[in-house]
Structure 1
């Protein structure tokens, strides 16, 4: 059992059913959100601070950079294992979200946008999930990222779970799409930490291609 699992029990009983996060977290002043978060006394620091984001859009409306940026909302930043479990325990699980909603968890200072300086030369691995699996897979990929299991230095930018009507989609973003060694290592680690069957289809798409066709999940490169 790692430190994430050991400390989870201290917070899990505080979980409540709410739309996204507790009202007091939702009403935090935006200037406070931008302040650097630090671990509390005696807490176990994460290697990087991480920020949770939430977005939702109407499928019938065409997506563009401006509308996407308006729809995405920063909901909290964590700097320690204890802070993570305390915050995470109040989040609705992805499986309970309605269609076309996304949770994002990115290193502090990186926006979950293709155009962000840390993302613009990168891409993402994509795993399509049948309905009912999103919550478990989301938690597993978060713990792998926060626990530095990918072993690729600063290459991992963040992870996203996308809830759609027919399927759910898990993706992990990395900085350098042209670095095949790193992208392959991320893919292989994903297979291991998510315990994916050998025949699971993995898709990759560069953010540059996403900007060209204004799409996150169409026209991907497929690999087994």
Structure 2
């Protein structure tokens, strides 16, 4: 499945900000998409007065790693694989994007969707993430669709109740099972981490037998850098 087909909201009929129109939310990617993406990162979406504005604005990213780990095990390669596919500042803009988005069971293995607060990239090195961590839960594929939607709605609706501490959520489609992760800013804030964990359990209605794994971003980054150095030495 091609990235263009997967991210069908690329084709949303949204006025181009640079054409002089002040309307629109998600960016309509046309022409040189890489140039558009770099130029427009972090631009707040316009929210018309009649729409229901969200507490925070968000953007959605897509990434897909190759079957080999050569690209995905380097932070540079991961950054190059990220594609920003839309942003939203209102409930209406969210549903406009989500209604065009393929569901988890339609996504190819090794692909990821990242819903983050606008201005925060889904990368460990981002200033908002570098001192943070994430809670990860592994789910059967039959559970992923509902769980991903519930997690998205909970984030947009501020149901985690940790305010700016929350950075984003990630859906990772894998071969045997899928992963959902919730990223937050401060790994050393044990109380905040516990609130995020408890909210995730409540939102997803996880039984007590389901284990959530916690990962510190700096640990992940160090492990990736070590692997990259080893690969460079071998070459």
Identify the TM-score tier after normalising by the shorter chain: 0.7 to 0.9
Q: Does 1:51 align with 2:59?
A: yes
SS in 1 for 2:8: coil
**d(CA) in 1 for partners of 2:207 and 2:88?**
32
Q: 2:145 aligns with which of 99, 114, 135?
A: 135
Displacement of 1:33 after TM fit?
A: 5.4
Q: 2:8 aligns with which of 21, 31, 38?
A: 21
**d(CA) in 1 for partners of 2:42 and 2:191?**
34
| Match of residue 206 from structure 2 | 196
| 8 Å CA contact retained: 1:33, 1:76 | no
Displacement of 1:26 after TM fit?
A: 4.2
Displacement of 1:214 after TM fit?
A: 2.1
Per-residue CA shift, 1:172-201, capped at 9, x if unaligned? 000000111111011111111111111111
| Match of residue 93 from structure 1 | 103
Displacement of 1:42 after TM fit?
A: 0.7
Displacement of 1:22 after TM fit?
A: 3.5
Displacement of 1:167 after TM fit?
A: 1.2
| 8 Å CA contact retained: 1:54, 1:103 | yes
| Match of residue 48 from structure 2 | 40
Regions of 4+ moved over 3 Å: 31-34
| 8 Å CA contact retained: 2:9, 2:86 | no
Structure 1 regions of 5+ residues with no counterpart? 1-17, 216-224
**d(CA) in 2 for partners of 1:82 and 1:53?**
19
| Match of residue 169 from structure 1 | 179
**d(CA) in 2 for partners of 1:211 and 1:32?**
27
| Match of residue 92 from structure 2 | 82
Q: 1:209 aligns with which of 180, 201, 219?
A: 219
| 8 Å CA contact retained: 1:46, 1:146 | yes
Q: What does 1:124-163 align with in structure 2 at a 5 Å threshold?
A: 124-163=134-173
| Match of residue 195 from structure 2 | 185
Displacement of 1:32 after TM fit?
A: 4.5
Displacement of 1:83 after TM fit?
A: 0.4
| Match of residue 12 from structure 1 | none
| Match of residue 118 from structure 2 | 108
Displacement of 1:95 after TM fit?
A: 1.6
Q: How many pairs align?
A: 199
| Match of residue 60 from structure 1 | 68
Aligned-residue CA RMSD (Å): 1.7
